[in-house]
Chain A
């Protein structure tokens, strides 16, 4: 089956620093990747959609200058949380799909900003 990995699985950083999260599709080409955020006891909220080689499309209310997304290859997308603050602490989940496939989810990255 299709596998999506995320790295790191958890990270603690200090307020004001930046954190990069990687999302990789291991055995298929991810023409589209998605980034979600999930706060405790809440559902997954789509942050942005990125097609390989194109700029990401951000959902309303998501600051594109704060959450930098790069999808430079068919197997890798990165999310960088810049100048992180405690309110950015959340569970970040990526998913990936090829043209005719469903979305396959990564295991998630738990970010804690102190």
Chain B
């Protein structure tokens, strides 16, 4: 089975740092994606972790611990435009291809 948990909502201040956590239980796990989704739009790719450790990409970083089934997305120097939903998705083998199971998303509100 596939199960992903992440907080429903978070609020942070402009310029601050916020960490969004995600835990997963995934059969046939291959890797972990983070996506950003603004209301009414499709998700956009942020990061992909296959190996344990931290991947840094500008203001965004993502961490993975395969043994703990745990990941987090770290957003630095928050900007108002970062207000969006952040989706954690685990990639696993299925139906002849790699598939994604999405968490319910964390709605981040950045306030002045």
Contacts and interface: CB of A to CB of B under 8 A. Distances in A.
Interface residues of B, number: 21
A85 to B, nearest CB: 22
B58 interface: no
Contacts, number: 50
B35 to A, nearest CB: 8
Interface residues of A, number: 23
The dominant DSSP class at the A interface is strand
Interface stretch (A11-19, A62-70, A72-80, A102-110): A102-110
A111 to B, nearest CB: 13
B29 to A, nearest CB: 16
Given A43-B105, A44-B87, A57 B95 contact: yes
Nearest to A109: B42
A48 B18 CA distance: 34
